[in-house]
Amino acid sequence: MRANRFQVSLRALVPALFLLMLLTPFNSQAKGDMEELLPQVACGDGWKIEGKPLFYDRETLSERIDGEAELYFPYGFERLAAARYALGKNPAAGIDVEIFRMGSLLDAFGMYANYRQKEGSAIAVGADSNLSPSQLFLYQGRFFVHIQVTGADDDPAALTECGRTVASRLPAARNLPTELSALNRPEVVKGTERYLPQSLLGYDFLNKGIMADAVAGGSNLQVFILLGTTTESAKAAFDRYRSQLTQGKVEPMGKDVAFLEGVDPLYGQVMVMRKGGCLAGALKFSGKEGVRGLLVGLCR
């Protein structure tokens, strides 16, 4: 019986592994120079590569994007592959493709969320994407991609096609960062999630966390969850944050659970909950109704 089950598992596993190898042809190569990620000739219909692809690392990124490079470093930036594609009939027109290899899937999401435009729309490419008339942002695996049309009329169709071509060359995994699942609640506004690897809320001791807009009790607010915390570090952050508040009321709620309500000098009224290693908070709310319940849910 046991042997049969093993044989069945093996039979299922072999094709799955084969399929995985087919779907991720660039995964191991991505550790190289990333040239294989850029379409060699065309990026969508009619757009031909112009010149050679360019590559940048931590030392040289600012040569391409100036001081903006500093925004990428906390997100584990490793390498950028960039190319420009031209349209034969209009030499001034170009599509610039930039593929950034970041530290992790969460880092790639973080960069994507930094650039995602409110008015943009999602298209079926990458783990998530944001298309506006002249730009497309997407992320897939640990790659953050920025595609932009310049010197031509807005061309969302070309951006979409180019985005699909690029995404097809990236490692196939299209999953979202698991860390975001904590924000998967009805009160949280989809598409507003952000990841900050440092200085959450502008406090250096609130290191590494996710934030999002939410609606509770009919009131708009923002919520945050600290990431990578242990019980000890969550407690330390909780105590440190409490010391920053101009008014603070701590309510112990049992073993390893505490609730803090106070006034943040920057944000006004805040609520924070610590449960073991979970530290979640809410700010910028006009009414308290439903806020505490939301925090309990975030730390569940």
Write down the number of H helices and E strands in the chain. Answer: 7, 13
Instruction: Select from 267, 276, 288, 292 the one that contacts another protein (CB under 8 A).
Output: 267
Stretch that binds another protein, among 115-123, 155-163, 213-221, 227-235 (CB under 8 A): 115-123
Instruction: Select from 103, 248, 276, 277 the one that contacts another protein (CB under 8 A).
Output: 248
Distance between CA atoms of residues 105 and 172, nearest Å: 12
Q: Between 116 and 164, name the residue whose CB sits nearer to another protein.
A: 116
- In angstroms, give the least distance from the CB of 248 to another protein: 5
Residue 246 interacts with another protein (CB under 8 A)? yes
C-alpha distances in angstroms, 136 versus 47, 196, 255, 278? 16, 22, 48, 35
Q: Between 194 and 275, name the residue whose CB sits nearer to another protein.
A: 194
C-alpha distances in angstroms, 240 versus 203, 235, 299? 10, 8, 19
Distance between CA atoms of residues 148 and 161, nearest Å: 12
Residue 62 interacts with another protein (CB under 8 A)? yes
- In angstroms, give the least distance from the CB of 275 to another protein: 17
Residue 154 interacts with another protein (CB under 8 A)? no
At residue 34, φ and ψ (nearest 5 deg) are 70, 5
> Which residue from 238, 220, 223, 222 is spatially nearest to 275, judged by alpha carbons?
238
Instruction: Select from 9, 266, 286, 300 the one that contacts another protein (CB under 8 A).
Output: 266
Sequence-ordered list of residues with C-beta below 8 angstroms from that of 261, at least 6 positions apart, any chain: 248, 249, 251, 269, 270, 271, 272
Sequence-ordered list of residues with C-beta below 8 angstroms from that of 300, at least 6 positions apart, any chain: none
Question: Which amino acid is located at 145 in the chain?
Answer: V
- In angstroms, give the least distance from the CB of 256 to another protein: 16
Instruction: Select from 21, 71, 124, 157 the one that contacts another protein (CB under 8 A).
Output: 71
Extract the tokens encoding 85: 């594609």
Residue 196 interacts with another protein (CB under 8 A)? yes
Instruction: Select from 17, 25, 168, 251 the one that contacts another protein (CB under 8 A).
Output: 251
Count interface residues toward another protein (CB under 8 A): 44
| Footprint on this chain of another protein (rule: CB under 8 A) | 33, 57-60, 62-63, 65-71, 73, 114-117, 135, 137, 146, 150-151, 194, 196, 198-199, 201-204, 244-252, 265-267
